[in-house]
Amino acid sequence: MRADAQRNRDKIVEVARAFFRAKGFDAVSMDEVAKGAEVGPGTLYRHFPTKESLYDAVLESWAEKVNAAVDRALSLNGSAREQLMTWLTDYAAMLTENKGAAARITAALGDPGSPFAGKCRTYVNANQRLIDGLDSALRPGVEAMQISRLVGGLAAVADNSELPPESVAPMLAVVADGLLAP
Amino acid sequence: MRADAQRNRDKIVEVARAFFRAKGFDAVSMDEVAKGAEVGPGTLYRHFPTKESLYDAVLESWAEKVNAAVDRALSLNGSAREQLMTWLTDYAAMLTENKGAAARITAALGDPGSPFAGKCRTYVNANQRLIDGLDSALRPGVEAMQISRLVGGLAAVADNSELPPESVAPMLAVVADGLLAP
DNA sequence: TGCCAAACGGAGAGTGTCTCCGTATAGTTC
DNA sequence: GAACTATACGGAGACACTCTCCGTTTGGCA
């Protein structure tokens, strides 16, 4: 990639990240990202053919954070319920940083053609590692995709309604207790 | 209301209902509803000032269905868990009829200014009646709004991914078990 | 039949995503 | 450092959508 192209790409992602964080996915237009990055719309669209692909690039480090959160939860010296709640709380908290991310990633679960397919795999794999780590503490037959959808749906609601963590916690507790073996 | 206005209004709602059911909220344009109902865009917008207000009119009978589903669940001769699962299953099933409804109604929870505010009240009240009906079988401190958000979020995911009922059932079971007293 | 408030409908404003293509430039070659 | 070419740029504008304004038509009543 040519040096000017790389410079522009970096600036676009940087500007877009700030805009998305401040206003959420829907409220940011591609035109304003282009203006903010001081490039033309054509340049923006050569680097990122759709608005969603730009969002995907903005969420680049998200995968690392998800994996780190699972590691943190599994390495805790506590009950399975505490480990589960730690992971769920961390995940829900991650989404307050990127308004609209929960809904989009959750909606893309099971759609390999989505720009977020990579993010989805990371997320489902994280839940699979959690299942493996918690071993027999969970109800039998529970699947990673089910946890992903349950928590993703709840996170999307919390994100959309801008619920404070203390309002989300009781709902996470319901999901956690439901996931633990009866 | 003048006779021609009433005729047009009825036809618009009828056409819109068919379109929304077939393609979902986002994929239907106001222009095609106007064309389908054989009226001009101006006429359409005098009857329904926004697309969401049109959707609200299409979902008119939804409130009755929700209340009927709660009644049905509470009148069952079964365990609290069976009653709960019956209601959750009925609610989730209701949404396959109107693609996009779950996400919109759930997103409007707690926003009195939304065109769906009336639908939200109905829905939260239904969950409150469920709580009152199931009495002490539920975990202490659980609130109607929490159930509304939990189930709404899950329903939105199921709707969006077009999950078959047998895929939704295990997730509903998790929520149900989580809601029942430990 | 004549009147007029009510309703109609379509052109178009405003806003968004995304494309096409003539122009400019980075990086290589002599 | 000049010429060359592949690469990248940027802006006009195509297209789709929601929603508005306003001149025209019509239903219902006196």
Q: What is the CATH number of the domain that holds B17?
A: 1.10.10.60
Q: Measure A127 CA to nearest chain B CA, in Å.
A: 15
Residues A71 and A152 in one domain: yes
pLDDT of residue A53: 96
At A33-68, the pLDDT tens digits run 999 999 999 999 999 999 999 999 999 888 899 999
Predicted pLDDT of residue B15: 98
CA distance B8 to chain A (A): 33
Residue A86 binned pLDDT confidence (cut-offs 50, 70, 90): very high
In strand C, the nucleotides that come within 7 Å of a protein beta carbon are 6-12, 15-21, 25-27
Which nucleotide is nearest to A41 if distance is taken from CA to C1'? D10
Task: Tell me, yes or no, whether A38 and A82 share the same domain.
Answer: no
The model's confidence at residue A135, banded by pLDDT at 50, 70 and 90, is confident
A89 and A152 inside one domain: yes
Q: Report pLDDT digits (tens) over B71-118.
A: 999 999 999 999 999 999 998 888 878 888 999 999 999 898 899 999
Distances (CA, A) of A109 to A103, A120, A150, B67, B95: 10, 6, 11, 32, 19
Residues of A in contact with B173 (CB under 8 A): 178
- Amino acid letter for position A177: D
Closest nucleotide to A1, Cα to C1': D7
Higher pLDDT, A182 or B68: B68
Q: Is the CB of A4 under 7 A from strand C?
A: yes
Res. B4: pLDDT tops 80: yes
Residue B139 and residue B179 in contact, taking contact as beta carbons nearer than 8 Å: yes
Statement to judge: residues B25 and B85 lie in one domain: no
Is A177's CB within 8 Å of B176's CB?
no
Average pLDDT over residues A67-74: 95
Nucleotide nearest B46, from its CA to each C1' = C7
Average pLDDT score over residue span A101-126: 93
B100 CB-near residues (< 8 Å, 6+ apart): B20, B24, B25, B26, B159
**Domain stops at, among A58, A83, A99:** A58
Residues A46 and A101 in one domain: no
Segment B113-142, tens digit of pLDDT: 899 999 999 999 999 999 999 978 999 999
Work out the mean pLDDT of chain A and round it to a whole number: 94
Tokens of B13: 């709602």
Same domain for A169 and A146: yes
Please tell me the predicted confidence (pLDDT) of residue B95.
Answer: 80
Is pLDDT of B60 > 90?
no
What pLDDT, on the 0 to 100 scale, is given for residue B55? 97
Q: Straight-line distance from CA A29 to C1' C16, in Å?
A: 7
Same domain, B8 and B81: no
Q: Which among B160, B171, B178 has CB closest to A177?
A: B178
- Is the Cβ atom of B49 within 7 Å of strand C at any atom? no
* Structure-token pair, residue A89: 């709380």
Q: What is the mean pLDDT of residues A4-30?
A: 96
Structure confidence by residue, pLDDT tens digits, A141-169: 999 999 999 999 999 999 999 999 999 99
Contact B178 A182 (CB under 8 A): no
- Do B131 and B70 lie in one domain? The reply is yes
Q: Is residue A109 pLDDT above 80, yes or no? A: yes
Q: How far is B4 from chain A (nearest CA, A)?
A: 38
> Is A16 in contact with A54 (CB distance < 8 Å)?
yes
Where a domain ends, among B58, B74, B99?
A: B58
Highest average pLDDT, of A173-182, B29-38, B89-98, B101-110, comes from B29-38
Quick one: which residue's CA is nearest to C15's C1'?
A29
User: Do A80 and A53 reside in the same domain of the chain?
Assistant: no
Q: Domain range holding A22?
A: 3-58
DSSP letter for each residue of A148-174: HHHHHHHHHHHHHTT--HHHHHHHHHH
Strand partners, B180: B138
DSSP string, B71-119: HHHHTSSS-HHHHHHHHHHHHHHHHTTSTTHHHHHHHHTT-TTSTTHHH
What mean pLDDT value characterizes chain B?
94
Residue B42 CB lies within 7 Å of the nucleic strand C: yes
Q: Tell me which of B11, B30, B58 is where a domain ends.
A: B58
Nearest nucleotide to B37 (CA to C1') is C9
Task: Note whether B41 and B115 are same-domain residues.
Answer: no
| Cβ-nearest to A157 among B149, B174, B178 | B149
- DSSP alpha helices (H): ranges in A30-164? 30-36, 41-47, 51-58, 62-74, 80-95, 101-108, 117-134, 144-160
Count the domains in chain A.
2
A14, A30: one domain:
yes
Question: In terms of domains, do B31 and B84 share one?
Answer: no
Q: What is the mean pLDDT of residues B166-180?
A: 96
CATH number, position B163: 1.10.357
Would you state the pLDDT for residue A14? 98
Coil vs helix vs strand at B18 = helix
